[in-house]
Structure 1
Amino acid sequence: MSENPVQLVLQGLCKVSDCIQTNLSRFFPRPDDPSSSLPRNKTPLLTLSTPTHLRQPDQILNKGKSSGPTTKEDLGRATWTFLHTLAAQYPDKPTRQQKKDVKELMEILSRMYPCKECADHFKEVIRANPVVVGSHDEFSQWLCHVHNVVNRSLGKVVFPCERVDARWGKLECEQRACDLQGTAAMDFTK
């Protein structure tokens, strides 16, 4: 029996979130950094060396962020990071189920994205640019193209799509632990 696609997406988002948190150390105060706003001899509530599962609730809530809830821009950056990371991991020869899941994910994002204006715009973008999921290259290029469509609409710089693999390379995981489920060796759709 296959898992619920939404559950798989949520699991993937958790892994991406942990990866981002680990790699964005510049946003976390360090006690030995003289430019830190922390008083001398004061240990920050949250450090990169503290595993997520060992942190206290107040450490998780006060993760070096002085402002309130997530902004639309923060959400957008996190979403594009997730999507480009997904595309980087997308196989050269995806299964029917992987193709279906990616198309469904884009449809779900266009309906359920927390910013209604963004969701409606993304719905228009994918209507004009149907999702292409035939291979890693096709999906990565399609995603880069639609990201650039969104960037143009926001007056932002576009990214040269011929450099997408250099910018969003595969995750570095031991023993192919980052491979998407359902690769050719595990094709459950037949």
Structure 2
Amino acid sequence: MSENPLEPIFKTFQRISNSIQTQLFSFTGLAIHPSPSNEKPLLSLSPSNKPNSSYPTDISAKGKASQPVTKEDLGRSTWTFLHTLAAQYPEHPTRQQKKDVKELMTILSRMYPCKECADHFKEVLRANPVQAGSQAEFSQWLCHVHNVVNRSLSKPIFPCERVDARWGKLDCEQRLCDLQGTTTFGDDI
């Protein structure tokens, strides 16, 4: 059985998520308590890294008891993921990488947890087909599409000439954050 073509994206997203959590917990002074892999990590405000009975044991990064994710939180997280992916996208992608990123956008438009958002994204993609011939092209396309969505929500428009400053490449040692992908003969065009 072949590997899921989105596997490298999911792995990169997991590394990004873990890095962000580590930095956030380091910054806020919250401690991560190991938990089984099928559960969310438990956080504590206790400086000794031991749960304190005066605090809830399941606390979000904002310090509130956990609640279901809001549509707005989901949207912000999705855009952060997509812009980070675009920043890491290769300047000279393979045919497979171009195909994968287009397929990812199509999958998002079908599987996004908010049906209203997914349906709107389908319309946006129809009017603005994915442009992924290079890192710069994909980043600019994504910024434009994000602004289309922002306009529909009456949110401010982001100046796309500043997209690299806002969502630049991750600072990872030895290029460990670069998108990994298989290159087959004749795939680099």
TM-score norm. by structure 1 comes to 0.79
Query: Which residue does the alignment assign to 1:14?
Result: 14
Q: Could you tell me how far 1:14 is from its partner in structure 2?
A: 1.5
Contact 1:97–1:189 (Cα < 8 Å) also in 2:
no
Contact 2:83–2:142 (Cα < 8 Å) also in 1:
yes
Gaps of 5+ in 2: 44-57
CA–CA separation in structure 2 for the residues paired with 1:168 and 1:118:
22
TM-score norm. by structure 2 comes to 0.79
Query: Which residue does the alignment assign to 1:188?
Result: 184
Query: Which residue does the alignment assign to 1:23?
Result: 23
Q: Could you tell me how far 1:8 is from its partner in structure 2?
A: 2.9
Name the one with the larger helix percent. Answer: 1
CA–CA separation in structure 1 for the residues paired with 2:146 and 2:74:
14
Contact 2:8–2:179 (Cα < 8 Å) also in 1:
no
Gaps of 5+ in 1: 31-45
Contact 1:95–1:189 (Cα < 8 Å) also in 2:
no
RMSD value, Cα: 2.3
Aligned residues: percent identity?
68
CA–CA separation in structure 2 for the residues paired with 1:178 and 1:145:
24
The answer as to 2:142 corresponding to 1:143 is yes
Q: Could you tell me how far 1:21 is from its partner in structure 2?
A: 1.7
Contact 1:89–1:178 (Cα < 8 Å) also in 2:
yes
The answer as to 2:63 corresponding to 1:59 is no
Amino acid at match of 2:151: R
Query: Which residue does the alignment assign to 2:152?
Result: 153
Q: Structure 1 residues 189, 125: closer, same or farther in 2, change over 3 A?
A: farther
Contact 2:12–2:179 (Cα < 8 Å) also in 1:
no
| Residues matched between the structures, number | 167
User: Equivalent residues in 2 for 1:99-178 (5 A)?
Assistant: 99-178=98-177
Q: Could you tell me how far 1:55 is from its partner in structure 2?
A: 4.4
Q: Could you tell me how far 1:143 is from its partner in structure 2?
A: 0.2
Q: Could you tell me how far 1:2 is from its partner in structure 2?
A: 5.8
